[in-house]
Amino acid sequence: MTASSQEKILIVDDELTNIELLAEIFDGQYEVLFANNGSKALEIAQEAHPDIILLDVMMPGIDGFETCARLKAQRSLKDIPVIFITGMGDSEAEVRGLEMGAADYVTKPINPPVVLARVRNLLELKQARDQLQRLATTDGLTGIANRRHFEQVLHMEHENHVRRGGELSLLMMDIDYFKPFNDSYGHLHGDDCLRRVARTIDEVVGGGNNLAARYGGEEFVCILPDTDPASAVALGESVRQAVEALAIPHAHSDVAAVITTSAGVVTSRCYEDRSVLHLLAMADEQLYHAKAAGRNRICASSAQ
């Protein structure tokens, strides 16, 4: 496999000699990032999203096991393959690492050809898996997340918030008077409108653990973990303004001469007795209020 310039390897080890050895193995083939402790590794992973992580087990402070656990607990990082590198030679430690989600295990002293071959194999598997993941989770027309992926992520975020508390916000919106637009301008223009609106929503909302998805037809939804009511409404307003700023002509709208959106926002603390369906119903109710109030606006509710 010829490695692309985009492939990044994060090496995490508290021993400089080990980092230098591993860096020499990958020199010229991959972009190599370094961290000498678990906290720094988590910071770099969040910023750079490496394609694979080589993680030492025995480190001061946050050890490799804890670092791996924290990586796997974050939706944006959990699918990054982790190879544990250790001199422990302990089968129980190896089993523990694999059960925590590590993809492979390499013992010291490091054998360069073995490490390089295992990294190459994992990157090839990751590329194939990522391609399948994109096909399964992406809306074919707009290129953002599809409804199936949205529902999976919403259930996961709801469970996370039930366990640890915090506020979970949901933004539900649709394009105002889209049917007259589609009927008048034609399906090709309608599809292009959906793509442009979806891309705009994703650009404004995307980032971190936020997720923008097409819910169906001209309706879109956004998951905003750990987002308070004021921030959720502000983000929704940014989306509304950004879509209007696209200035897509709409001569058959009763609210503006261009494409606009209406949105409902709900923020809630998740409890075991409050289901995902309840959260969706509340967001849908606020969207209904926004439409009834004249469209091209946001209505919000906070249910604690």
Please answer whether residues 196 and 188 qualify as being in contact, where contact means their C-beta atoms are separated by less than 8 angstroms: no
Burial label, 24 (beta-carbon count in 10 A; 0-12, 13-18, 19+): exposed
Whether 30 contacts 115, CB under 8 Å: no
Indicate which residue of 159, 167, 218, 237 is catalytic: 218
Give yes or no: 157 in active site.
Answer: no
CA 243, 183, 203: angle at the middle one, nearest 5?
A: 20
**Per-residue b/e over 283-300, b at no fewer than 16 CB within 10 Å?**
bbebbebbbeeebbbbbb
Phi and psi at 268, nearest 5°, equal -145, 150
CA 41 to chain centre: 19
Secondary structure percentages of the chain, helix, strand, coil, to 5: 50, 20, 30
Query: Rounded to whole angstroms, what are the CA distances from 296 to 190, 219, 288?
Result: 19, 14, 12
Segment (H or E) for 242: helix 229-245
* Distance of alpha carbon 106 from alpha carbon 86, whole angstroms: 7
Q: Enumerate the active-site residues.
A: 218
